[in-house]
Structure 1
Amino acid sequence: TSAIADTGTFFISLPTPMAESIWQAIGATAIGNGTDLATIDCNASTPVVFTFSSTPYAIPASAYIINSEGSCFTGFESGNDPTPENPHPPAIFGDVFLRVWYSHFDVEGHRVG
């Protein structure tokens, strides 16, 4: 799966199978009913690690748990799935990732690092 960093996106938007795998690993539960989010225990503590070019990037639970009036949600949303027009959509790493990791945007080299 390819990935892009997007300062205009809040969540980390992933293909559904990837999001569901992460939700299962951290003990989150898909909300369903047409939403692409999952609930999680507000006291969860499992970090999530993404690896880019052999470098691991850990996101602590405190960065991806969103507390909304006592109900908590993950910062990982599903639904960035393949379509006939876009059979290989990238994962989109928004603010949930970017506020944890300093990012250098190399426009000429077409990379973030």
Structure 2
Amino acid sequence: MNGQTIACSDTCQAIVDTGTSVIAGHPDSIGAIQEAIGAQSDKYGLFTVNCNLVSSLPEIIITINGIQYPLPSTAYINQFPGSCSSGFQSTSGLWILGDIFLREYFTVFDRGNNRVGFAPSLKA
């Protein structure tokens, strides 16, 4: 974010999961992201942000094999009438790139060669 690594500075493993709506990762890394975007935990444990600030939040760039995949704030902030929440969630184990990432990038699962390919999604 803003040219600084805020999470996963070493090699990390991740999966791409169409059944996960968020981007999930190690609690320390996710905590750093939540802090960097100004997200605050509410009484239910949901991380919320001020809806008036969404347009001023920075892109978060996910780098995979040296290729950068930027995510605008409108991708990683869930906006509902009257509230906005972070699309990042803590989990143990691998990073999970869910729908927040998948909505921004066309994804091809190449099971024959055990790889995944990404390209920017075309938006209407």
TM-score interval (norm. to shorter): 0.7 to 0.9
User: Which residue in the other structure is 1:19 paired with?
Assistant: 30
**Structure with the higher strand share, 1 or 2:** 2
Contact 1:23 1:30 survives alignment (8 Å): no
2:14 corresponds to 1:3: yes
1:30 aligns with 2:41: yes
What TM-score does the superposition give when structure 2 sets the normalisation length? 0.75
Partner residue, 1:103: 107
Moved over 4 A (4+): none
Unaligned runs of 5+ residues in structure 1 are: 82-88
Long gaps (5+) in structure 2: 1-11, 118-124
In 2, Cα distance between equivalents of 1:94 and 1:32: 25
In structure 1, distance between residues paired with 2:43 and 2:114: 36
- Aligned-residue identity in percent: 37
Which has the higher relative contact order, 1 or 2, with Cα contacts under 8 A spaced 6 or more apart?
A: 1
Deviation at 1:31, TM superposition (A): 3.2
Instruction: Show the 5 A alignment for 1:1-113.
Output: 1-31=12-42, 33=44, 35=45, 37-42=46-51, 43-44=53-54, 45-78=57-90, 80-81=91-92, 89-113=93-117
Q: Does the 8 Å CA contact 1:5/1:92 hold for their aligned counterparts? A: yes
Contact 1:27 1:40 in 2 (8 A): yes
